Amino acid sequence: MPDMLNPSFRGRVALVTGASQGIGETIAIMLAREIPLVVLVDIQRDKLEAVAERIAGIGGRASVQTADVSRFDQAAAVVEGVVKENQRLDYLVNNAGITRDNLLMRMREEEWDAVLAVNLKGAFNFSRAAIRTMIGNRFGRIVNISSVVGVMGNAGQSNYSASKAGVIGLTKSLAREVAAREITINCVAPGYIQTAMTESLPEAVKKAFLEMIPMRRLGAPEDVAQAVKFLLSDQAAYITGQVIHVNGGMYT
């Protein structure tokens, strides 16, 4: 069973999109230490099942749900199933994201559309599917994962930057819509985090990134997960519509 170190999480149900690897996997595992049920969502079932096994190994409980987050019908079906089985969905972490990097003058329309569909529309789809239940229960927490490039931009990532800036706008607007129902909507904007993707970068690129970061190191997925867990907890009950930057001082 989860440790239940924080009474905020007793009896709750969480859903994490993009939970098959990287930051999403770390968030899901951290939450599963204290939340009785974490629903893992991604398109990669094999990887999700591996994460669920890791969660079971620490005494937690996870449910695996495959879905294309860019499809509202699939998002709605996942949320409907979770609510039907558990009569609740308390926490939603919209983490799923992809990149299709290119200079704008070379960017294909499908590269633009794919990134916006997953990163921004995916957050809209799951938020819209979950929010009615949260309103009915007069409780809910949604944390959207944006990015430092959503506020400062980055050459070759106009699609990714636009999608992550849009996530911030979505967060701030929805927060105003549902605050009176004791529902908080916040955003975590990671900087350069040490993942499989950043590990594969050339050394020269890594060095250039590090020079942009005052702390002179990449962040860890756990740094992001801790911020997410805090925003889901009762300790953050009066925080909504905010962007929490986890970037080692890269952007302030």
- Catalytic residue chosen out of the listed positions 160, 192, 238, 251: 160
- DSSP reduced 3-state for 235: helix
Asked if 238 is an active-site residue, the reply is no
Burial of 181 by CB count in 10 Å (0-12 exposed, 13-18 middle, 19+ buried)?
A: middle
Q: Are 124 and 174 in contact (CB under 8 A)?
A: no
Q: Tell me the Cα Rg of the chain.
A: 17
Q: Which two tokens stand for residue 179?
A: 């605050």
**Half-sphere exposure (CA, 13 Å, Cβ side) for 129?**
27
Q: CB of 96 within 8 A of CB of 42? A: yes
Q: Which two tokens stand for residue 188?
A: 């975590």
Residue with tokens 């709605």: 76
CA dist 129 and 123 (Å) reads 10
Identify which of 111, 130, 102, 108 has the alpha carbon closest to the alpha carbon of residue 14.
130
Which residues does the annotation mark as catalytic? 160
